[in-house]
Amino acid sequence: MSDDSTTPATQLRVGRLTKAHGLKGAIKLELFTDDPGRRFVPGAVFTLQVPTSSPWHGKTIELVELRWYNQHPVGFFKGVPDREAAEALAKAILWIDQDSAEQTDEEDAWYDHQLVGLAVVRDGVQIGTLTRLEHLPAQDLLIVKTANGEVMIPFVKAIVPSVDVKAGVITITPPPGLLEELPEEPDTDDSTPGDAAPAADAEPDSDEPAATPTPDGQDA
C-alpha cells in the first residue's frame, strides 16, 4: 500500500552567490542560514534563482566544498571550473528542498508557506493580508493586499519588527509615504507686493558668464 500521508516539499532560501573568488571557479557566498554546516555539505543540491536570460535558468547546482577565507564563506560547485563560469552565477539565489512539515528553528527565518495569509498589522490595526513574497537579490519584499490594492513592503527588521506565525500576525512600522502618499506641502512665496522685478537691462551681479545648460547625463 502506498503512503499518501507524505507532505509536499517546499523550498527554503539559504544563500546567495555574490562574486567570483580566484581563478578556479570558487564563488563567495552570502548565507541566509544559521546552520551552514547542515545546509552546505558536499553533495548538497540547490535550485538556482537567476534571470531567464541566464544559461543557468531552470537548473540546479551541486556543492563540492565549502571553505572559509578570512571568515567569509566560499563555495566550489560542480560544473563551475573557472572564474568565467563563476562570474556567470553572480547574484544567483540558492534554494533547497525541504519538507513543508519541518519547522525551521533558525532565528528570523520562515518558509514562504508559513507567512502567506497572515494578517499585516500597523499600530494595532490590520491593514491587509500577505499574499506572497518576492525574493530579490538585494532584499525580500512582502506583497500585501490592502483595501487600496497591493503594496510592497521591504522585509527588513526596521520595517517588519515582528512576525508571530502562531498568532497569525506580521507587525509593520513603515516610514511615512510607504503605504500612502504624503500630503503636498503648500507653496511658499517669500516675495512681497512691494518687491520690484529687476529691470531687463540690469547689470549682472557677477562678471562670470551664465552657465550653459548641458544635456541630461546617460548611464555609462
Residue 217, pLDDT above cutoff 80: no
- What is the phi/psi pair of residue 11, to 5°? -125, 150
For residue 71, the model assigns a pLDDT of 85
Q: What is the pLDDT of residue 126?
A: 94
pLDDT confidence bin for 140, thresholds 50/70/90: confident
Please give the Cα distance from 20 to 89 (Å, whole number). 8
| pLDDT band per the 50, 70, 90 thresholds, residue 33 | confident
Q: Where are the beta strands (DSSP E) in the chain?
A: 9-21, 26-31, 45-49, 60-69, 72-77, 93-99, 119-122, 125-135, 140-146, 149-154, 162-164, 169-171
Domain range annotation of the chain: 9-99, 112-171
The proportion of the chain whose per-residue pLDDT surpasses 90, expressed as a percent, equals: 40
Average pLDDT (202-210) is 45
Minimal CA–CA distance to 106: which of 150, 163, 66, 51?
Answer: 163
State which fold the 112-171 domain adopts.
SH3 type barrels. (2.30.30)
pLDDT digits (tens, 9 = 90+) for 98-123: 755 555 555 556 777 788 899 999 99
- CA 100, CA 115: separation in Å to the nearest integer? 13
Q: Distance from CA of residue 86 to its chain's centroid?
A: 22
For residue 131, what pLDDT is reported? 92
Name the CATH architecture for the domain at 9-99.
Beta Barrel (2.40)
The whole-number pLDDT of residue 181 equals 55
Query: pLDDT tens digits for 44-83?
Result: 999 998 888 999 999 999 999 999 998 889 999 999 999 9
pTM above 0.85, yes or no: no
Distance CA 101, CA 7 (A): 7
Contact 31, 14 (CB under 8 A): yes
